[in-house]
Structure 1
């Protein structure tokens, strides 16, 4: 029994919640390192502070995948209960994040935020495969990528918009996150909740009986417990998943490097506006700690030192706003790429492997270009445009290739297990992987972006491992008779 094909707006509505999910991820990716630097973290410490994010994914994704495969609520269905729970928890974490007073508090909230986002995100990946026939799955994942691109672009521009358009200050006392960032995270929390509710209210899921009929499932298949099922899935993962895992490893290592270190690297190398160390301008005690007055305000050496700190800090905040805005371009270009791919794949077959390979190569060029543009931030438009093409492909092609080889009854679990190949490279990168490899090239922080470019090239070449014809060749989603 075949699933009926869905129209564009049905696919759009079922994927719309990803707008909110991407608001959470984009605010985190474009602003989290800025928050860590503001709270006093050294730039070399930032990747390790981010480790909570991939650790949350490693633990949460397969568990939520299994649970959503085996859940049925008579009103909310199979996946939508997880959308709702994740949205509530993520919105709360987004609201509190910019009010962190210590680095460890921000790192803890990042763990909560990422765990919560994963509760919503993995069932969303599985929903595309649940609802769409094989012929429409690439189409569905590309539409999802289109919405992700919109969310990335808008959310990354929010702090700059708050400052430049709404005139909400991007300046603050040492160790305090600016109001423009606080308001941006508040908007992100609202959009997260609202967009998830759109999907919940507009999308109806197939019942377990209908899914079994579509999947031609073996009704006598042995049922195992959650941990036994997850462990057996890891042990028996299909070959195509392992090969795609190599591609994913290099891709996600590169993007983790960007999310964690693009702000310190680009504010320093391209804008010549690194985060000033308040200790260079303030009075210090015998333990080399900044002295505070009765109101807990920093005691500067003198008025000139205070003015100099404020000038440099404003330059850093302005540069950070612009870095975030420029990073949003990768969301915009991924959106345009996804839109073009949506229209093309609606009527034509594509070679998924070569599309992904070419896209990753262009993204690598975008990262490598950054080394050669000190003092020329306008060139970042080109860099992030190319990176966005890679991002658009990363969010669609691997999932489309994988879904061709996975049973619908285990789609949520398989998507969760597959994301092991997303979180492990991020954990490796966080455990000094990026810092160590970039230090082999040079001490400048921009070399983290050079490493990202090299790893995307390795990811592109790794596509040559994929030989499964069913995964590689995509048939058009709309009959062209």
Structure 2
């Protein structure tokens, strides 16, 4: 058999079902961690740096997991061992997070939780590429978007629903309301159960079978210009050092040290790559190359489609990160008129943010059905442009809407943008990746999700203080503008050469 057989609807359902649980935990984190931080005494200006755990762990963990999962094969398979380990660790973090006695413990638990979520999440993206033929991959990613939406709807609504059921929504002795605690407990159970469903109900192709399927992009790695890599590495390192020195001399905001540090790390990684490409280097031989040199080599020579999509992802995820970390502070301050985390108004507003987050995820689940129809008529690029522009307009509308109930209308646009961001870039990319490197390239693609989040954590607090008098509502405005730019960037990406990719999203969904 030279091509992968098509899977049935229910087989694709089972292989994607675990994403419901992962997103359940992810949505609880997004909707409630800022609330927990503020309750434990965090200043609004410090929230971005506390959230640094999320993008930084993704930047480190996902390429490592991708690299090793490409090389894993045991009784559980190739990707499923990572699903299971990540789910168990995330479950433990969810159980303890709402009981954190101090801010530094909550921040540490966020690191553990996000690292564990990433251990499970990254292989799920590669799992679709492994298991499905090219014409079904868009359906697989759309199915993941559907489960992401459904899981996040319930998870984001949980504190509000528990309030309606009579659970206390006022801070207890620990400072965290019972509604938040029991929401996290329920999330832990759902996450572990959903991932176990996928682990037990699916099977994987062994490595030799994947290599036999003649459907992936050419796997030959382009040659690397060691001198150019060295030159770029020196420039990035020098720029980072100069930036750090300037911040030190002017007593700059400590968040910006993260940006300078990131430039230095990237520069040093390029210098390591240039050294590994020299003929006399002990890691020059592919058989002796270590993980860092291999990952950096794949990053430096990534396919052109990935390079162009990087800018789309950059501006999209900068906007999403701004929304996740500032919506609670913005809505409670502007629409409920309170910044006191122990007041009834603040906690009512924080619960409403959970409803809003549930709403945009619910609309995303609907969009996962509508987007294939858009793609069939308009193509992948124009469909993605329209969807992210809807999201941009939605975030901008927070500045003008004053009745919090009308913010539900804004969530329609956010939902379509979210569903599109989770599916169409992967549909544009997947046919350009070799099967034997699907995991590591999906991990590298994640760089362009987490780097903008690191940038947001570095500069958003500073931008708000310098230009917007510390008002968090303007973080959402910056996010809206960023989504508009993301839509323009997608016009630089070529449509896939394989026309079945676009039609499959509709024909498979209707079968």
- Does TM-score exceed 0.5, indicating one fold? yes
Alignment pair present for 1:245 and 2:310: yes
Q: Is the 8 A contact 1:351 1:473 kept in 2?
A: no
Alpha-carbon offset, residue 433 of structure 1:
2.9
Map of 1:67 onto structure 2: 68
Using the alignment, how far apart are the partners of 1:441 and 1:460 within structure 2?
25
Structure 2 gaps of 5+ residues are 222-285
Match of 2:455 among 428, 432, 455: 428
Using the alignment, how far apart are the partners of 1:177 and 1:22 within structure 2?
22
Match of 1:455 among 463, 471, 482: 482
How many residues matched?
441
Using the alignment, how far apart are the partners of 2:393 and 2:465 within structure 1?
17
Alignment pair present for 1:45 and 2:46: yes
Label 1:207 to 1:45 Cα distance change in 2 as closer, same or farther (>3 A): same
Alignment pair present for 1:366 and 2:387: no
Label 1:242 to 1:219 Cα distance change in 2 as closer, same or farther (>3 A): closer
- Render the CA deviation track for 1:238-294: whole Å, top value 9, x for unaligned: 111111111111110101011111001111111223225xxxxxxxxxxxxxxxxxx
Q: Is the 8 A contact 1:435 1:448 kept in 2?
A: no
Using the alignment, how far apart are the partners of 1:361 and 1:472 within structure 2?
25
Alpha-carbon offset, residue 149 of structure 1:
0.3
Map of 2:319 onto structure 1: 254
Map of 1:141 onto structure 2: 141
Using the alignment, how far apart are the partners of 1:24 and 1:72 within structure 2?
27
Moved over 6 A (4+): 216-221
- Render the CA deviation track for 1:325-363: whole Å, top value 9, x for unaligned: 111111001100002235676xx4751111111000000
Map of 1:353 onto structure 2: 381
Alpha-carbon offset, residue 173 of structure 1:
4.5
Alignment of 1:357-436 (within 5 A): 357-374=385-402, 376-433=403-460, 435-436=462-463
Stretch moving more, 446-455 or 224-233? 224-233
Q: Is the 8 A contact 1:13 1:203 kept in 2?
A: yes
Label 1:42 to 1:352 Cα distance change in 2 as closer, same or farther (>3 A): same
Label 1:323 to 1:472 Cα distance change in 2 as closer, same or farther (>3 A): farther
Label 1:389 to 1:235 Cα distance change in 2 as closer, same or farther (>3 A): same
Map of 1:162 onto structure 2: 162
Using the alignment, how far apart are the partners of 2:299 and 2:41 within structure 1?
40
- Render the CA deviation track for 1:32-61: whole Å, top value 9, x for unaligned: 100000001111110110001111000000
Label 1:179 to 1:410 Cα distance change in 2 as closer, same or farther (>3 A): same
Alignment of 1:68-467 (within 5 A): 68-73=69-74, 75-165=75-165, 167-173=166-172, 176-215=175-214, 223=287, 224-276=289-341, 313-342=343-372, 348=376, 351-374=379-402, 376-433=403-460, 435-436=462-463, 439-467=466-494
- What is the TM-score of this pair, normalised by structure 1? 0.87
SS in structure 1 at match of 2:203: coil
SS in structure 2 at match of 1:475: helix
Using the alignment, how far apart are the partners of 1:48 and 1:412 within structure 2?
29
Alpha-carbon offset, residue 197 of structure 1:
0.5
Map of 1:16 onto structure 2: 17
- Render the CA deviation track for 1:18-42: whole Å, top value 9, x for unaligned: 0111011100111010000000111
- What is the TM-score of this pair, normalised by structure 2? 0.82
Using the alignment, how far apart are the partners of 1:416 and 1:44 within structure 2?
31
Map of 2:241 onto structure 1: none
Structure 1 gaps of 5+ residues are 277-309
Label 1:373 to 1:349 Cα distance change in 2 as closer, same or farther (>3 A): closer
